[in-house]
Structure 1
Amino acid sequence: MATAALGLGAPAILRAQSNSIRIGHLTPRTGFLGPMGEYAVMGVTLAVEEINAAGGVLGRPYELLMEDSVNPQTASTKAQRMVERDRVDVIVGEISSASGLAIAQVASRAQKLFLQTGCNSDELRGKSCSRYMFHLEANNSMYVRTIGREMLRQNMVKGKRWMAFTADYAFGHDLFEKTKRFMDQNGAVFVSNDNIPTDATEYSSMILKIRQQRPDLVMSNLAGNQTTNFMKQYREFNLPIPLAGADLNASSIWGAGEGSFSGTWPIIWTHQVQSPTAKAFTERFTKRWGRPPDNQAVADYLAVKVLARAMQETKTTDVQKLIGYLESGVKFDVLRAREGYFRPWDHQLMFEMYTVKPAEGKPASKWDVMQTSASVPGPNESLEVLAPTREENACTFA
């Protein structure tokens, strides 16, 4: 079993030889984001294994040091220890936006590259941006505009009454703010928004409130296990009110399972993406771990692959030269139909996104309870249409 093999929940180090290039990997491996962190560990591990099997980078192997970040304070402490004691060359990972900010502050002070793979908050690309931080996860605006397009297509916005439920921490608050802004601009009416503690597991009072207020649509701004548990209980009450969300991970879909997964949601990637490299990656991942990759796994996998290419192309591990390379507009295979690139002024990776809804008919497997849409934006649109513009984004690098 993958969890046992990786010692999930405890510090782990994959040791190589003394001339290795050290990567510090931080991600929550316990708590409500733990299921996503498990896939992050699998993704980063597979990438390092593949690179080392091919001879490493610049003739040197990658050495992976992995820790459970748990919360912002722990993330900051462990990032500092990785920099000072372990002498890591690069930090990769994280899911919590609050923890991501804490790690970014450590990385910036130490002038270490931080490739963050799961933090959604627009603030990390805005007023809290850093020249040393690059984003392989979409920001909240990209998620909201992706699902917003689908809701507009379904005529579920203008004049419709929405109820929202939001994870009560930095990510959730930022996501609700972006959701409300989009809906205000397009004529929807928010009936209410309830902030939900991240350790909540019982949602019957919320669902009874929905039954009483009878909105036209319920909007989820929840995260991790919150989403899984909410979907299960929402289906148990058998409410006829449509459900949608502004953020989703495949691990939440699989946790809910057939019969409980419902609604329409945005997502950055699924194992159903049909580009040649995506299909090949899914096959390799499934062979290695006995299950298909989720969106978190692909982000952590890509971070290491992007890093390896940057080092090979620049023929160095020098941080300033790597930043210059990543800012140059070079395009990367991001396991989608179109290549992606980092914007030089906020370091957001631009890529195609998708929406998912329950599969029609009997799923082909327990992993295929969802149906992945065509890419968003469409093939003839700019990848930039989903992301905040310079005018909307307060990022200024020091």
Structure 2
Amino acid sequence: MKTRTNRRLFLQGGTAGLALGLAAPTYLRAQSGPLKIGHLTPLTGFLGPLGEYGQMGVDLALEEINANGGVGGRQIELLKEDSVNAQTASTKAERMFERDGVEMILGEISSASCLTISQVAARYGKLFVNTGGNSDALRGSDCNRYMFHVETENAMYVNAEGRYFQNEGLVDGKDWYTLNADYAFGHDLLRAAKSFLEANGGNIVAEEMVPTDATDFSSYLLKIRQVEPDVVALNLAGTQITNFFKQYGEFGLDFTLGGFGFDTVAAWAAGARNFRGTWPNVWNHLVDTEESKSFTKTFTDKYGKPPENQAWGDYNALKIVAQGIDAIGGANGDELIAYFESDEAKFDVQKTRQAYFRPEDHQLIQEIYAITALDPDAVENEWDIFTTSGPIPGEDQPLDVLAQSTEGACTFSS
């Protein structure tokens, strides 16, 4: 790992650093009115249910920050829009920076949209904080100096879930049938899964690429019945996972089921009778820390249901950028980068250990979890339909042990 940048040295070194150091303390005081931040995320289509939770999470963070005086004495004004798809996301990002004067953009779930938003942000020298895009390429070949990632990358999910299956004796010598969303998210997960399985003696008997608009999985389920794999692994996203759960039960299949990327909204939508298997999760409402319990209670009191992991991501993204703005005295993109890459930038994200951004690719290094479906007869309500593991990695392991990607190394352009 590269040595993390020390912000104080950055601000003290050279004429550019001196200029930034002099400008930072006066930045917020020189501005009047609210500090504008954009929020883009899909609210329609197969990722829409996730985007709705993302909006609820960021709205709650906004309410709390502004109730405590805002940032640097200024209230935050959040401009929110449906990103729809990658092209629309790019257009709306351009408009937010050019017409609306936002200082940065948060959000997104689609990795393709993350890429286009980050390219627009870089042209304006502004930050984009990704709250839901998992693609390893965003942290590798498509990385961007102005893009930071609160959501974990696919490789981290694969490594965590792969360890679970390995401990269950379901890797070495076992046959795996995979269904993969046919876009960057699914392609990345498949590549990472293949790398893990090949290294550990697993055998992939099928690599089905599933169109993102597919709703009928009967042809795949017939193949699964014929092949009789040891494990059925889903690298799908959004409402597709829910549809698969329901149809899997209708076909009466009982092969071990799991996957390498998951959002708890899919489990809730499927219901206790259909949800099954073990899945990696960046955070869930059963995480046993005081901060997590407090967040869950506040969210549930406000919205009448517990927060989903996407709500957690967007909530923490706004909290993180607010911490950065307070720390440097402004929202200047280059200064925020220097702060987020520095040793002093540590973040409380409702887990047992503080998180930090890895300087070389701007991935938030943090604990993740594995959730396992409960037997339907043991379920007491519509939300607590799974159990959660403790934090992964364990406290005796380095926090970045899972963050080993198969994607090429990130090289930030100057």
**Would you say 1:227 and 2:259 are equivalent positions?**
no
Residues 119-268 of structure 1 aligned to structure 2 (within 5 Å)? 119-268=133-282
Deviates more, 1:323-332 or 1:359-368: 359-368
CA deviation after TM superposition for structure 1 residue 199, in Å: 1.0
Report matched runs for 1:248-397 at 5 Å: 248-329=262-343, 330-360=345-375, 361-388=377-404, 393-397=408-412
Matched with 1:109 is: 123
Aligned to 1:43: 57
Look up the SS of the partner of 2:100 in the other structure: coil
SS in 2 for 1:298: helix
Q: CA deviation at 1:36?
A: 0.3
Distance 2:381 2:65 in 1: 31
Query: Are 2:137 and 2:407, in contact at CA under 8 Å, matched by a contact in 1?
Result: no
Identity of aligned residues (%): 53
Measure, in 2, the Cα distance between the counterparts of 1:173 and 1:28: 20
Measured after TM superposition, the shift of residue 53 of structure 1 is: 0.7
* Separation in 2, partners of 1:315, 1:39: 30
- Kept in 1: contact 2:280–2:368 (CA 8 A): yes
What TM-score, normalized by structure 2, do the two folds share? 0.90
Q: Secondary structure at the match of 2:45?
A: coil
* Conservation of the 8 A alpha-carbon contact between 2:106 and 2:129: yes
Q: CA deviation at 1:364?
A: 3.0
Q: Which has the higher contact order (CA 8 A, sep 6+)?
A: 2
Which amino acid counterpart does residue 385 of structure 2 have in structure 1?
V
1:44-123 matched pairs, under 5 angstroms: 44-123=58-137
Local SS of the residue matching 2:401: helix
Whole-angstrom CA distance in 2 between matches of 1:247 and 1:282: 22
Q: In the TM superposition, what is the alpha-carbon distance from 1:392 to its structure 2 partner? A: 6.0
C-alpha distance in structure 1 between counterparts of 2:161 and 2:249, whole Å:
21
1:93 and 1:365 map into 2 onto residues whose CA distance is 30
The alpha carbon displacement at 1:315 in A equals 1.5
CA distance, structure 2, for counterparts of residue 315 and residue 240 of structure 1:
56
Larger deviation: 312-321 or 73-82?
312-321
For residues 240 and 253 of structure 1, the distance between their equivalents in structure 2, rounded to whole angstroms, comes to: 17
> How many Å separate the matches in 2 of 1:120 and 1:273?
21
Equivalent residue number for residue 5 of structure 1: none
**Structure 2 alignment gaps of length 5 or more:** 1-30
Does the CA-based 8 Å contact 2:141-2:407 persist in structure 1?
no
1:352-394: CA deviation from partner (whole Å, max 9, x where unpaired): 11111112452232100111111111111111110026x9642
One-letter amino acid matched to 1:342 = F
In 1, the alpha carbon distance for the partners of 2:183 and 2:336 equals 33
Provide Cα deviations, 1:262-295, integer angstroms capped at 9, x if missing partner. 0111110000001111110001111111110011
The residue identity in structure 2 corresponding to 1:327 is E
Structure 2: which amino acid aligns with 1:335? Q
CA offsets per residue over residues 204-254 of structure 1, 9 Å max, x none? 111111000111111100000011110111112121211111111010010
Q: Which residue type is aligned with residue 59 of structure 2?
A: T
Runs (5+) with no aligned partner, structure 1: 1-16
Moved over 3 A (4+): none
Deviations along 1:287-326, whole A, 9 cap, x unmatched?
Answer: 1111100110000000000011111111222221111110
Shift of 1:134: 0.4
Q: Cα distance, 1:105 vs. partner?
A: 0.4
SS of the residue 1:120 aligns to: coil
Measure the CA separation in 1 of the matches of 2:229 and 2:374.
25
User: Considering only CA atoms, is the larger Rg found in Structure 1 or Structure 2?
Assistant: 2
